[in-house]
Structure 1
Amino acid sequence: MLEVLKSSWALLLGLLLLMLGNGLQGSLLGVRGPAAGFSPLEMSVVMSGYFAGFLFASRMVPGMIRRVGHVRVFAALGSFVSAVLILFPAFPDPILWTLGRVVLGFSFCGVYVTAESWLNNAATNETRGKALSAYMIVQMIGIIAAQALLVVPDVSGYLLFIIPSVLVSISFAPILLSIQPTPAFDSTKPMTLRQLYGVSPLGIVGMFLLGGVFAAQFGMGAVYGTAAGLTLGQISIFIASFYVGALLLLYPLGWLSDRMDRRVLIMLIAITGGAAALVAMLFGHIFVVLVGAALVIGGCSNPLYSLIIAYTNDFLQPEDMAASSAGLLFVNGVGAITGPLIVGYALQVIGPPGFFMLIAALLLLLALYAAWRMTRRRAPSVQDTAHYQPVMPSAGLVAVEAAREIASENPKSTGDQAA
C-alpha cells in the first residue's frame, strides 16, 4: 500500500477533494431545497437528475475521451461542475436545480472515469488491487468528511455552495500536474440485458434494487433529515453513518464471501439491512437508533454492490466480464433514477417513515429473490469462484473494470453455467 501511496498520492489527493465537493453538494441541496419551499416530491426529481446524468455519461464519456483525449474531457467537465455548484443559490427553482443536477451527474461521472483511467494506468499488475482499494477508501473518507462541512456557518447563504466549487477546482491541480502519459482508452460493447439476465438473474435484479437503495442514501438522506426535524449537525452525522458502516464492513464481508455461497451471504446481508431499516422506520425519532440503523444499512448495502458484481463474474469467462460490467452499471443507474422519485412520493404521502420503508422493501425483496434463486440451481464450488474485489457504487466504469481485471486473474471453470 505504501508503494501505491508513493506513486499515486497526488491522484488520490485530487480524488479526495472531488469526493469532498460531491459529498457536500448532495447533502447541502437536500437541506436547502426544503428551506427554499421545495416539496419532497420536487426534491426527489432534483436528486434523480444526478443519477440520470451519471447514467448518460457512462455511455457517452468513453466516446468523448477517444475523440478529444483525457485532459480536455477532464478540464471541460470539471469546469462545468465548479460553475454549476455556485449557480444553485442564485436560481432556487426546482426545474433549474434538476437541470443542474443532471449536468453535475454527467460531469462527475466523466471526471471519475478520467481520473480512474490515470490511476489504473499508474498501477502495475502487482499493485492494481491495492490501488483500487486505496481509491475506494479515499471515496468513503471524502464523503464522510464532507458531512462535517455541512455545519459550517453560512450567514450569506452562498458560502456552503462556494466551498464545494473551490474544492473541485483545487482538485484539478494535483491530478493534472501529476499524470503520466495519457493512457489508451478502450471500451467494450455491453451485453444486452437479455443476455446478462440469462447469465445472472440475481445480478440484474440485485443491481436494480440496490440502485434505489444507494440513491435514497446519497440523494435523499438530507431531505429525510430535514423532514424529520433533525438539526444540521444531526443530519451530517446521520449521512456520514451510512459510509462509516460501509468502511467498517466492506472488507470483512468480502473476505467472508470468498469462503461461502455468495447467494447465502447476499440474502443474510440484505435481511440484516432491511431489518435495520424497519427499526429506523419505527423508532427513528430516537437519534441514537437512527444513527445505529444508518451504520448497519450502509454496512450492508455497499458490500452488496461488490458482492453482486463478484457473484455475476463467477458465471462468466474472463473475456465476457468487461461486457457484463457495463450492463450491470446501466441497470444500477436505472434503479438509482427511480429510487429518489419513490422516496419523494413516500415522504410526501407517508412522511419521514417512508424513507426507511422504501429501503426496507428493496433490501427485503433482494433477500427474497436471492433465496428463490437458491432453489433454482446450485452454486459453483468456492474453489471455482473469483476473488471478491471491493467497489463503491459511486465509482466509475474504469474502477469496475479494474476490479474485473483483478478477478479475471483467477482461473474459473464455471463460465458456461447460468446463475
Structure 2
Amino acid sequence: MLHALGPISALLLSNAFLLLGHGLLLTLLPIAASAAGFSDTQVALTGSAYFLGFVSGCLATPHMLKRVGHIRSFAVLATCYSVVILIFPLLSEFYSWLLLRFFIGIAISGLYMIIESWLNGSSTAKNRGSILSIYTTLNLVMVMCGQQLLNVGSEQNSMLFALAAIFISIAIIPVSLTRSSAPGVVQTVKLNMFKVWRHSHIALIGAVIAGLVTGAFWSLAPIYAKDNSFDSSQLAAFVSATVLGGACFQLPLGRFSDRFDRRSVLMYAALAGSLVSLLFVGLPYVVTTFGGWPASILAFFWGGTCMTLYAICLAHANDNASSEDFVEISSAMLITLGLASAIGAPLASLAMGLVGANGLYAFTSGCLLLFFVIVLLRRRSHALPPNMETKESFRAVTDMAGPTAYEMDPRTVIEPVHSKD
C-alpha cells in the first residue's frame, strides 16, 4: 500500500490543504452572511446557489479536462476559488454572495473531480478500494480540522477568509511540482434518472431525502447554533461532531447493511435521525447549557444517522446493477443529491421563519420520518429479487465527492489511459 501511495502523495497533500480551507469556509460563510445582515432565507439561498454550482461543475469540468489536462485545470480552479474567497469580505450585497457561492460550488466540484479521476487512474483493481477509503477518511478529517480554525478569528473581519484562501492556494503547489504523470481525460458525466429509478426506487428517494437534510444542515446549522447562543468554540465542536459521527458510523452501518436488507438499515437509521432531530428541537428549552457538550453529543449521533444515508442508498442502487452501469448510476445519484440539497436549504429556512432556529431540526425530523414511512411501506409491498440476496461489499463514500469517485470502486470496469500534462 505504501508503494501505491508514493506516486499520489503530492496529490493527497494538495487535497489535504484544499479540504482544510474548504472545511473552514463551509461553516464560516453562513455565519458571515448572518453577521452581514442576511435573513435566514437569504442565507439558505446562498447555500442553494453553492449546491447548484456543485452540480454545474460536475457537468462542466470534464470539458476543461479534455482541453487543458488535470494539472492546469487544478491550478485554474484552485486559483479561481482563492480569488472568490477574497472577494467575499469586499461585498455585502445578497446577490453578489449568491453569485460567489455559485462559483465556489463549480470550483470545488471541479477540484473533487480532478483529484478523484487522478486517484482512479493511478490505482488498480487490487488497491482501488483501499485508496478510496484513505481519500474519504482524509476528506472528513481535514474538513473537521478546517472547522476548528473558526476559533482563530472572528467572522466579522477578513482574517478567516484570507486564511481559507491561503490554504487553497498552497494546495496548488504539490500538484504543480509533482513528477507523476496525470491520467487521461475523463468521460462526460451522463445523467440517467430512469436507470436509477429502475434499479431502486428507495435509492433515488433516499438521495432526495439525504440531499434535503444535509443541504439544510450545511447551509443553516451555523445559524441554528448562533441563534442558540453557541460561542465560536462550541460552534466548531458542534459541526465537527456531526462530521465525526458520519465518519464513525458510515463503515459499521455499511457493513451491517451487507449482512441484512439495506432497506431495513435505511429505515431504522432514518427513524433514529428523526428522533435525534426532535431532541435538537426540544432540549434547548430545558437545558440551559445546551451549547456545550450536550449539543456536540447529539450532533455526533445525528451525523451518524443522517450523514450515512446517502452511501447506503448508493450501495442499494448498485446491488442489482452491472459494472458498466455503476458510474452512470452513481453520477445520477450524486446530481440528484446536489439538486435536492439546493432545495432543502430554502425549505428549512421557511420552517425556521415559522418556529425559530429550532425549525431547522423540525424540518429534518419531518423529512426523515417521511422517508421511514416510505421505506416501511415499500418493504412490505415489494420483496427483493433473488439475486439481491448476495450483495457486493459496502464501500464507504462521502457525499463530499465528485462523480469520478465512483469509478474508483473495484467493481467498476476501467481501462485507464495515462498521459502527461
Tell me if both proteins adopt one fold, taking TM over 0.5 as the criterion.
yes
| Distance in 1 between residues matched to 2:162 and 2:7, nearest whole Å | 31
1:156–1:97 CA distance, 2 compared to 1 (3 A): closer
| Distance in 2 between residues matched to 1:165 and 1:153, nearest whole Å | 15
Kept in 1, the 8 Å contact 2:144–2:244? The answer is yes
Q: CA deviation at 1:336?
A: 0.7
Q: Which residue number in structure 2 is paired with residue 343 of structure 1?
A: 348
| Distance in 1 between residues matched to 2:256 and 2:40, nearest whole Å | 39
Kept in 2, the 8 Å contact 1:209–1:362? The answer is yes
Query: Deviations 1:266-313 (Å, cap 9, x if unpaired)?
Result: 111111111111111111352333222211111122221111111010
Amino acid at match of 2:147: Q
Q: Which residue number in structure 2 is paired with residue 412 of structure 1?
A: none
State yes or no: 1:104 paired with 2:104. yes
Q: CA deviation at 1:7?
A: 4.0
State yes or no: 1:257 paired with 2:257. yes
Query: Deviations 1:358-398 (Å, cap 9, x if unpaired)?
Result: 11112222222211221232225665211110110111111
**Matched residue of 2:9: which SS?**
helix
Amino acid at match of 2:245: G
Kept in 2, the 8 Å contact 1:27–1:147? The answer is yes
Stretch of structure 1 that moved more, 162-171 or 289-298: 289-298
Kept in 2, the 8 Å contact 1:214–1:393? The answer is no
State yes or no: 1:399 paired with 2:415. no
Q: Which residue number in structure 2 is paired with residue 195 of structure 1?
A: 195
Q: CA deviation at 1:402?
A: 1.6
Q: CA deviation at 1:177?
A: 2.1
**Matched residue of 2:195: which SS?**
helix
Q: CA deviation at 1:60?
A: 1.4
Q: CA deviation at 1:188?
A: 5.8
Q: CA deviation at 1:186?
A: 3.5
Amino acid at match of 1:362: C
Stretch of structure 1 that moved more, 162-171 or 370-379: 370-379
Stretch of structure 1 that moved more, 179-188 or 361-370: 179-188
Q: CA deviation at 1:258?
A: 1.1
Kept in 1, the 8 Å contact 2:195–2:329? The answer is no
| Distance in 2 between residues matched to 1:289 and 1:154, nearest whole Å | 24
Kept in 2, the 8 Å contact 1:118–1:179? The answer is no
State yes or no: 1:245 paired with 2:249. no
| Distance in 2 between residues matched to 1:238 and 1:107, nearest whole Å | 26
Q: CA deviation at 1:120?
A: 1.6
Amino acid at match of 2:404: V
| Distance in 1 between residues matched to 2:189 and 2:404, nearest whole Å | 14
Q: CA deviation at 1:20?
A: 1.1
| Distance in 2 between residues matched to 1:228 and 1:4, nearest whole Å | 47
Q: Which residue number in structure 2 is paired with residue 385 of structure 1?
A: 391
1:255–1:72 CA distance, 2 compared to 1 (3 A): same
1:33–1:249 CA distance, 2 compared to 1 (3 A): same
1:152–1:210 CA distance, 2 compared to 1 (3 A): same
Kept in 1, the 8 Å contact 2:271–2:369? The answer is yes
Query: Deviations 1:66-106 (Å, cap 9, x if unpaired)?
Result: 22322232121111100010110110121111110000000
Question: What is the alpha-carbon root mean square deviation over aligned residues?
Answer: 1.8
1:18-417 pair list within 5 angstroms: 18-154=18-154, 157-178=157-178, 180-187=180-187, 190=190, 192-284=192-284, 286-287=290-291, 288-380=293-385, 384-403=390-409, 406-408=410-412
Kept in 2, the 8 Å contact 1:190–1:325? The answer is no
**Matched residue of 1:395: which SS?**
coil
Amino acid at match of 1:359: T
| Distance in 2 between residues matched to 1:168 and 1:370, nearest whole Å | 41
Stretch of structure 1 that moved more, 16-25 or 60-69: 60-69
| Distance in 2 between residues matched to 1:38 and 1:307, nearest whole Å | 36
Amino acid at match of 2:359: G
How many residues align structurally?
Answer: 407
Q: Percent identity?
A: 29
* Unpaired segments ≥5 residues, structure 1: 410-419
* Unpaired segments ≥5 residues, structure 2: 414-421
Amino acid at match of 1:319: E
